[in-house]
Amino acid sequence: MEKSIFTVKPIHLEHAPGFREALDAVARERIHLGQTEARSLEWAQDFVATNIKNNHAQFVALNGNEVIGWCDIIPFARLGFRHTGGLGIGVVKSWRGKGVGKALLAEAVGKAVKNGIARIELEVYASNTAAIELYRKNGFVEEGIKRSARFLDEKYEDILMMALLIGTH
């Protein structure tokens, strides 16, 4: 079987358009993310530039020059919450199930830990088996559920809250 080649790298400003396109494609599936389309290119450039400037964990998966996935763990800004990072991850549809998500998560968690993040949290739709399995396998634990938290395309969806603690308990 032909092996799928991809690399995982810290994001650079030049990846911002590709990051936005990948995010937009996943968002437009209207299933997995909290948004149904990506914001503007200016937003993506600003987000990436801020993350680079602050040394925040943000990685992209690349096939050649094409961005096929991303993962970021961004610390919360408010005093008292800066030990916590919010996690976002996505892989474009044609690349799922090939180890890209696992590789992105490992890099991003590793960098967040190096940066002193002690809690990584996320929200995931209860029907998103692939993501929940990925998180569970990497030590994330379910902390609660928001019932019927989303109503989209005539369907209600529960949201699971999950988190990984690093040395706080």
Ligand X SMILES: CC(C)(COP(=O)(O)OP(=O)(O)OC[C@H]1O[C@@H](n2cnc3c(N)ncnc32)[C@H](O)[C@@H]1OP(=O)(O)O)[C@@H](O)C(=O)NCCC(=O)NCCS
Specify the stretch interacting with ligand X by CB under 6 A; choose among 8-16, 26-34, 78-86, 146-154. Answer: 26-34
Shortest reach from residue 17's CB to ligand X, in Å: 19
**Using CA atoms, how far apart are residues 93 and 50, in angstroms rounded to an integer?**
27
Total site size for ligand X, rule CB under 6 A: 22
The residue number with the shortest CB distance to ligand X is 101
Q: If binding is defined by CB under 6 A, does position 100 make contact with ligand X?
A: yes
Pick the binder of ligand X from 51, 63, 115, 128 (CB under 6 A): 128
**Residue 70, φ and ψ in degrees, nearest 5:** -150, 160
The letter for the amino acid at 83 is: H
Shortest reach from residue 88's CB to ligand X, in Å: 7
Q: If binding is defined by CB under 6 A, does position 145 make contact with ligand X?
A: no
Shortest reach from residue 137's CB to ligand X, in Å: 5
Q: If binding is defined by CB under 6 A, does position 150 make contact with ligand X?
A: no
Shortest reach from residue 49's CB to ligand X, in Å: 23
Pick the binder of ligand X from 10, 32, 51, 163 (CB under 6 A): 32
Interacting residue ranges for ligand X, rule: CB under 6 A: 26, 32-33, 89-91, 96-102, 122, 124, 128-131, 133-134, 137
